[in-house]
C-alpha cells in the first residue's frame, strides 16, 4: 500500500481504527457472560440479568467517552467525508441490527449447533475488511475467529455439540467478548503503526 493510499484509508476509517473506544463494551459482554454463571443465574432469567445489564451500561459508556477523549488528544480529529448515500447506509444498518437480533433469538432457542449470531457478526466484520480495501486487517482476523468458534460444535467441540451446554449457556458470550476485545486492540495497534509509518516518510 502506498503512503497516499494509507493516508486515505486512515482518514476514511479513522474512528474504526480507534479500537480502544469499543473495548469497554466488549469487556462488558465478557464480564456479563462470566458473572452470570459465577452467581448461579440461569440463562434467560432477564429479571435477574437486567440488574446487571442496566446499571452496567453506564460504566462502559463513561469509560468509552474517556478513551475517546484520549484519542482526540493523542492523535487529533479528522473530519469525515459526508456519506455518498445516507439513506442506503441507514437501511443497511437497520437490516444488520434486525438480522443480528434474529440470529440472537435463533441461538436462544438452542436448536442449532452453530451460533447464527456469531456468524452474522463474522460476516459484518468481513464486509468491513473488504470495503476498506483490505486495509483493516483486524476485522479479517476477528471475522475468522468468530467463524471458527461459531462452527466448532459441528466438529464435536464442545463434545455435546452445542455451546449452550457450557457454563449454563454463557460460554459463547465469554468467548465472543474475548475475540471482540482482541479485535479492538488489534485495531488500535494498526492505527498506531500506520501513523508511525507516515511520520517516517520524508516530505
Return the pLDDT at 126.
92
Residue 168 predicted with pLDDT over 70:
no
Residue bearing the bigger pLDDT, 180 or 197 = 180
Closest CA to 8 of 133, 98, 115: 133
pLDDT in the model for residue 203:
52
- Does the structure show a pLDDT above 70 at 99? yes
**pLDDT > 70 in the chain, percent:** 68
- Specify the pLDDT at position 91: 83
- Nearest CA to 67 among 31, 108, 23? 23
- Indicate the Cα dihedral angle 114, 117, 119, 122, nearest 10°: -150
Angle between helices 23-39 and 46-75 (to 10 degrees): 150
List the alpha helices (DSSP H) in 18-167.
23-39, 46-75, 86-108, 116-131, 137-151
Question: Which pLDDT tens digit goes with each residue over 124-139?
Answer: 889 888 887 777 788 8
Distance of alpha carbon 157 from alpha carbon 166, whole angstroms: 11
Helix, strand, coil % over all residues of the chain, rounded to 5? 75, 0, 25
54 has a pLDDT exceeding 70: no
Number of Cβ within 10 Å of residue 183's Cβ equals 24
Residue 5 has pLDDT above 70, yes or no: no
DSSP letter for 78, please: -
The boundaries of the domain holding residue 192 are 3-199
Give per-residue pLDDT as tens, 12-50: 777 777 888 888 888 877 776 666 655 555 554 544 555
pTM for this one? 0.69
Check if the beta carbon of residue 138 is closer than 8 Å to that of residue 125. Answer: no
- Of 166, 167, 174, the residue nearest 40 (C-alpha): 167
- Mean residue pLDDT of the chain comes to 75
**Residue 14: partners with Cβ closer than 8 Å, 6 or more residues away:** 78, 80, 191
| Confidence bin at 98 (pLDDT 50/70/90) | confident
- The larger pLDDT score, comparing residue 190 to residue 108, is at 190
Cβ within 8 Å of residue 196, ≥6 positions away: none
**Overall number of domains in the chain:** 1
The reported pLDDT for the residue numbered 123 is 92
> What local confidence, expressed as pLDDT, does residue 44 receive?
47
Q: How large is the average pLDDT for residues 153-182?
A: 70
Pick from 94, 91, 119: which is nearest to 104 by CA? Answer: 119
> 90 to each of 71, 85, 124, how far by Cα in Å?
26, 9, 15
Query: What is the reported pLDDT for 121?
Result: 87
d(CA 141, CA 7) in angstroms, rounded, equals: 22
Amino acid at each position: 500500500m502506498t503512503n497516499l493510499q494509507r493516508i486515505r484509508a486512515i482518514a476514511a476509517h479513522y474512528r474504526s481504527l480507534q479500537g480502544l473506544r469499543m473495548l469497554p463494551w466488549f469487556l462488558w459482554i465478557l464480564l456479563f457472560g462470566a458473572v452470570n454463571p459465577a452467581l448461579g443465574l440461569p440463562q434467560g432469567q432477564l429479571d435477574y440479568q437486567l440488574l446487571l445489564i442496566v446499571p452496567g451500561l453506564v460504566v462502559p459508556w463513561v469509560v468509552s467517552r474517556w478513551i475517546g477523549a484520549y484519542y482526540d488528544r493523542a492523535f487529533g480529529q479528522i473530519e469525515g467525508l459526508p456519506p455518498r448515500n445516507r439513506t442506503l447506509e441507514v437501511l443497511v444498518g437497520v437490516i444488520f441490527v434486525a438480522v443480528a437480533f434474529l440470529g440472537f433469538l435463533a441461538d436462544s432457542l438452542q436448536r442449532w449447533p452453530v451460533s447464527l449470531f456469531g456468524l452474522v457478526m463474522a460476516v459484518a466484520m468481513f464486509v468491513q475488511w473488504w470495503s476498506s480495501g483490505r486495509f483493516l486487517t483486524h476485522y479479517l482476523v476477528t471475522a475468522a475467529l468468530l467463524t471458527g468458534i461459531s462452527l466448532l460444535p459441528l466438529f464435536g467441540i464442545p463434545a455435546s455439540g452445542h455451546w449452550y451446554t457450557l457454563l449454563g449457556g454463557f460460554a459463547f458470550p465469554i468467548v465472543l467478548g474475548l475475540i471482540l476485545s482482541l479485535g479492538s486492540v488489534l485495531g488500535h495497534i494498526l492505527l498506531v503503526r500506520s501513523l508511525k509509518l507516515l511520520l517516517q516518510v520524508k516530505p
